[in-house]
């Protein structure tokens, strides 16, 4: 059983352009941000944990640490375990360098080589995100927008036109850095849950972390901080929502112990569903795990 984490890939259809040529933005900002990215990239290539920790934002470092230890992997060793080389900026054309408050980004267009076969390398859009910490810009994350389904956009960019999508919220730094999450515990067991919530908007909380609400849908999620031997608790906040006429509300959650082998099924340790008497506004469910 495999519980998937979000990928830093976007498949957004980009459509509008301004007739003027693209601007490189502020030269000093571009230099500072590209230097920050270069420092992070070199740390990954050299597999240098100290250099990596000093070059990436505290927010991203904490998010990655929590994800890695929840997978029952070693931190920071797992950061360097994939062997995938970070993207080089050589040959890419800068579309924008922009900063708002303590947030900034660089947006590029060109051939994004992720190590795939050469004939599969296409001209796409790359966005690098940065946060300013203690007066210094640090790399946070990247996002690739595929233009496979937008050939007109790709062609217009090849012709040097400035895209209007740079003025959309998705391509505008938010201005405020995200709050750094707490460090999760190191679990005894990797764990996840599956939830189906129809006729209810359900928010799951566990180990001090809240997950995105699920309403009229299905979801599966890795549990940050996993499960420990002995007593654990998971909390559901439940809000009824309208159901289509003739349909019946239903809510069920199942929690599993997971193996690092994706072919091995999970072991169910909790199953709860709404009783016939109706759903409570909030319920905390115990999970007992034997060593």
My answer on whether 93 and 202 are in the same domain is no
Cβ-based neighbour number of residue 102 at 10 Å? 16
Q: Say if CB 26 and CB 102 are below 8 A apart.
A: no
Distance CA 245, CA 248 (A): 8
My answer on whether 47 and 158 are in the same domain is yes
Asked whether residue 186 is domain-assigned, the answer is no
My answer on whether 30 and 132 are in the same domain is yes
My answer on whether 157 and 108 are in the same domain is yes
pLDDT surpasses 70 at 283: yes
My answer on whether 133 and 63 are in the same domain is yes
pLDDT surpasses 50 at 5: no
My answer on whether 199 and 91 are in the same domain is no
My answer on whether 141 and 235 are in the same domain is no
Structural domain containing residue 32: 9-171
The long-range contacts involving 25-31, CB below 8 angstroms and separated by at least 24 positions, are: 25/94, 25/96, 25/97, 25/98, 26/97, 26/99, 29/97, 29/98, 29/99, 29/104, 30/94, 30/97, 30/106
My answer on whether 166 and 199 are in the same domain is no
Domain count, the chain: 2
My answer on whether 94 and 142 are in the same domain is yes
Domain boundary among the residues 137, 171, 205 is at 171
pLDDT surpasses 50 at 25: no
What is the average per-residue pLDDT within 278-285?
Answer: 96
Asked whether residue 142 is domain-assigned, the answer is yes
Domain boundary among the residues 171, 201, 218 is at 171
Q: How far is CA 110 from CA 169, 188, 224, in A?
A: 22, 44, 36
Q: If you ran DSSP here, which 8-state letter would residue 27 be given?
A: H
Three-state DSSP at 56 gives strand
38-47, 73-82, 225-234, 256-265 — which is least confidently predicted? 256-265
pLDDT mean across residues, the chain = 90
Distance CA 215, CA 238 (A): 10
Asked whether residue 2 is domain-assigned, the answer is no
Distance CA 77, CA 58 (A): 17
Exposure string of 178-211, with b = 16+ CB inside 10 Å and e = fewer, is eeeeeebbebbbbbbbbbbbbbbbbbbebbeeeb
Q: Tokens 């890939």 identify what position?
A: 9
Asked whether residue 1 is domain-assigned, the answer is no
Q: CB within 8 A of 109, min separation 6: which ones?
A: 92, 93, 95, 123, 124, 125, 126, 157
Q: What is the residue-wise DSSP string for 123-160?
A: EEEEEEEEEEETTEEEEEEEEEE--TT-HHHHHHHHTT
Three-state DSSP at 106 gives strand
My answer on whether 157 and 195 are in the same domain is no
pTM (2 d.p.): 0.86
Helix H or strand E encompassing 205: strand 191-206
Asked whether residue 3 is domain-assigned, the answer is no
pLDDT digits (tens, 9 = 90+) for 217-249: 999 999 999 999 999 999 999 999 998 888 889
My answer on whether 112 and 201 are in the same domain is no
My answer on whether 196 and 255 are in the same domain is yes
Domain boundary among the residues 171, 202, 218 is at 171
């Amino acid at each position: 059983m495999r519980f998937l984490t979000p990928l830093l890939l976007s498949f957004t259809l980009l459509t509008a352009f301004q007739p003027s040529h693209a601007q490189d933005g502020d030269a000093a900002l571009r230099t500072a941000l590209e230097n920050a990215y270069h420092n992070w990239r070199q740390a990954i290539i050299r597999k240098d944990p100290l250099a990596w920790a000093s070059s990436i934002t505290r927010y991203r470092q904490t998010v990655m640490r929590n994800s890695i230890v929840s997978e029952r992997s070693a931190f920071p060793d797992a950061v360097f375990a994939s062997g995938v080389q970070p993207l080089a900026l050589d040959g890419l054309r800068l579309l924008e360098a922009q900063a708002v408050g303590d947030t900034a980004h660089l947006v590029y267009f060109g051939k994004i080589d992720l190590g795939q076969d050469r004939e599969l390398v296409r001209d796409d859009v790359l966005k690098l995100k940065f946060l300013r910490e203690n007066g210094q810009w640090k790399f946070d994350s990247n996002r690739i927008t595929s233009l496979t389904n937008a050939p007109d956009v790709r062609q217009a960019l090849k012709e040097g036109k400035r895209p209007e999508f740079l003025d959309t919220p998705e391509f505008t730094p938010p201005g405020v850095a995200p709050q750094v999450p707490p460090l999760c515990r190191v679990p005894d067991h990797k764990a996840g849950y599956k939830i189906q919530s129809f006729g209810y908007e359900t928010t799951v909380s566990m180990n001090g972390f809240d997950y995105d609400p699920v309403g009229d849908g299905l979801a599966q999620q890795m549990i940050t901080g996993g499960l420990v031997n002995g007593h654990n608790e998971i909390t559901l906040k439940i809000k009824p929502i309208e159901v289509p006429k003739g349909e019946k509300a239903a809510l069920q959650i199942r929690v599993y112990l997971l193996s690092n082998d994706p072919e091995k099924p999970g072991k169910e340790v909790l199953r709860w569903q709404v009783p016939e008497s109706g759903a409570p506004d909030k319920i905390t469910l115990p999970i007992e795990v034997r060593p």
